[in-house]
Structure 1
Amino acid sequence: MNTILYIEDDQEIGQFLKDVLEKKGYTLIWLTSSHGYELHIDEVDLVVLDIMMPGLDGFTIGQRIKQTYPQIPILLLTARTALEDKLKGLGFADDYVTKPFHPDELEARIEVLLRRFDKTPINEVKLKHLTVYLQEKRIINNQTGEEILLTDKQLRIFLLLLRHPNQILTKEQIYENIWKQPYIEGDKTLMVHIRHLRKRIEKNPNDPKILETIRGIGYRIKQ
């Protein structure tokens, strides 16, 4: 079952489309503004994005999402018909639908994007002395043959970073994705969890080769 993030401030259109897509079997996360989209973006398969919104418009949000999550398809949904707006949108988005639209057309475009971006899931990832089985959420130390057991938060942090290999995730991105609340500058919670995580997965936690700190920014897993 695919999950769609739908950002639309129009209550009538939003509720209508939510009902239509949920009847088709999709899981829909509907936001009426761009506020808080970062808390959901890592769990979705596609973004349907209205351009005309209060605050940050769809162009701005879409560009930010695509820059950080290029693997997630974006479908723009807007009342604008001007060619320059379509060209601007397609500079980062993967498809463009103009209001008014027929729900069957929208569903067809969604299905095309999901097929285009569908990738055969990778279950086994090797990192230095570790083998990670993603579906089973198991981590094996290849040198000892033992399974490495993590707490729930440690495992979720590790898997989040692993889904973005070699990509730097900021402290804010990680914290807000895992704890589902705004990050407060100076909070040491994430740092403590990272320290304990390294004790479990690194040969030498004081000289990490897997989970790197990017000073002043965040963390990444080197693959």
Structure 2
Amino acid sequence: MNRVLYIEDNEEIGKWVEQELIRTGYEVCWLTSGEGAIDKAEKVDIVVLDVMLPGLDGFSIGKRLKKMDATIPILILSARTALEDKIEGLEFADDYVTKPFHPEELIARIEVLLRRFKKHEQKTIHLGNVTFYPIESRIERRDTKEEVLLTGKQHQIFSYFIQHLNQILTKEQLYEGVWGESYIEGDKTLMVHIRYLREKLEKDPANPEIIETIRGVGYRVRG
């Protein structure tokens, strides 16, 4: 049975969605705020998340969940229909459904995300000299067969690259996606972390094959 973490503060909508999910065969953990979401997310298969919440908003919660685990699918369910809201949400979330919605559409979108992510989880990802095992969140060097151990921030950056494989990411996107803050021109923090990552991942850090520098733009990891 697939498990859903559902975060919604509106009691009427929450009860209705919870009942529909249970009726369809899902196990549901329903929270009315983001408190406790990080702990609960470790035990579920997908997160369905409202944006307008007491305390931390859904965007902030979703970004934290993705930093914790880039392989967990997140679906935003929100009354905010503005294009800028959708764009902001889809920077970290995997789908965005606006209210009002039909329960059959919601269920269909959840099932699509679960199929997509389970498909990715079943395969390893080969990146240059390393192999990434998504289910275990483990990285292994192919030349020495040794596990690559990353610091917390290095792991967050690597996870963000995995989440956006084959995409050219600007420094601004990376900084905002990982640190949750706006990039300040001239800040060397990201560059330093990339250098340390290359030292751990690349066969020849001076000539990187995994984390490419796209001159004048940012970086890319090819999958």
Task: Tell me if both proteins adopt one fold, taking TM over 0.5 as the criterion.
Answer: yes
Query: Which residue in the other structure is 1:16 paired with?
Result: 11
Asked if the contact 1:4/1:47 (under 8 Å) is kept, the reply is no
Distance 1:4 1:123, change over 3 A: farther
Query: Which residue in the other structure is 1:60 paired with?
Result: 84
User: Following the alignment from structure 1 to structure 2, what is the Cα–Cα distance between the partners of residues 115 and 135?
Assistant: 19
Once the two structures are TM-superposed, the CA of residue 138 in structure 1 deviates from its matched residue by: 1.7
Asked if the contact 1:5/1:47 (under 8 Å) is kept, the reply is no
Is 1:49 the equivalent of 2:78?
yes
User: Following the alignment from structure 2 to structure 1, what is the Cα–Cα distance between the partners of residues 61 and 219?
Assistant: 18
Query: Which residue in the other structure is 2:99 paired with?
Result: 77
Asked if the contact 2:141/2:148 (under 8 Å) is kept, the reply is yes
Query: Which residue in the other structure is 2:51 paired with?
Result: 31
After superposition, the C-alpha distances for 1:170-207 in whole angstroms (9 at most, x for unaligned) are 22332233223333333221111011000111112121
Query: Which residue in the other structure is 1:116 paired with?
Result: 112
Superposition TM-score, scaled by structure 1 size: 0.66
Query: Which residue in the other structure is 1:194 paired with?
Result: 194
Superposition TM-score, scaled by structure 2 size: 0.66
Asked if the contact 1:18/1:28 (under 8 Å) is kept, the reply is no
User: Following the alignment from structure 2 to structure 1, what is the Cα–Cα distance between the partners of residues 62 and 216?
Assistant: 24
1:163 alignment partner AA: Q
User: Following the alignment from structure 1 to structure 2, what is the Cα–Cα distance between the partners of residues 19 and 36?
Assistant: 15
Distance 1:128 1:201, change over 3 A: same
User: Following the alignment from structure 1 to structure 2, what is the Cα–Cα distance between the partners of residues 65 and 170?
Assistant: 18
Query: Which residue in the other structure is 1:88 paired with?
Result: none
Would you say how many aligned residue pairs link Structure 1 and Structure 2? 182
2:144 alignment partner AA: T
After superposition, the C-alpha distances for 1:9-51 in whole angstroms (9 at most, x for unaligned) are xxxxx53367435784255544339x99377357352122324
User: Following the alignment from structure 2 to structure 1, what is the Cα–Cα distance between the partners of residues 94 and 76?
Assistant: 7
User: Following the alignment from structure 2 to structure 1, what is the Cα–Cα distance between the partners of residues 14 and 83?
Assistant: 25
User: Following the alignment from structure 1 to structure 2, what is the Cα–Cα distance between the partners of residues 185 and 209?
Assistant: 26
Asked if the contact 1:161/1:221 (under 8 Å) is kept, the reply is yes
Q: Which runs of 5+ in 2 are unaligned?
A: 20-27, 31-46, 67-72
Q: Which runs of 5+ in 1 are unaligned?
A: 7-13, 52-56, 79-96, 98-104
User: Following the alignment from structure 2 to structure 1, what is the Cα–Cα distance between the partners of residues 7 and 181?
Assistant: 18
Once the two structures are TM-superposed, the CA of residue 63 in structure 1 deviates from its matched residue by: 4.9
Asked if the contact 1:5/1:40 (under 8 Å) is kept, the reply is no
Once the two structures are TM-superposed, the CA of residue 147 in structure 1 deviates from its matched residue by: 1.6
Asked if the contact 1:4/1:45 (under 8 Å) is kept, the reply is no
Pick from 42, 62, 66 the counterpart of residue 40 of structure 1.
62
User: Aligned-residue CA RMSD in angstroms?
Assistant: 3.2
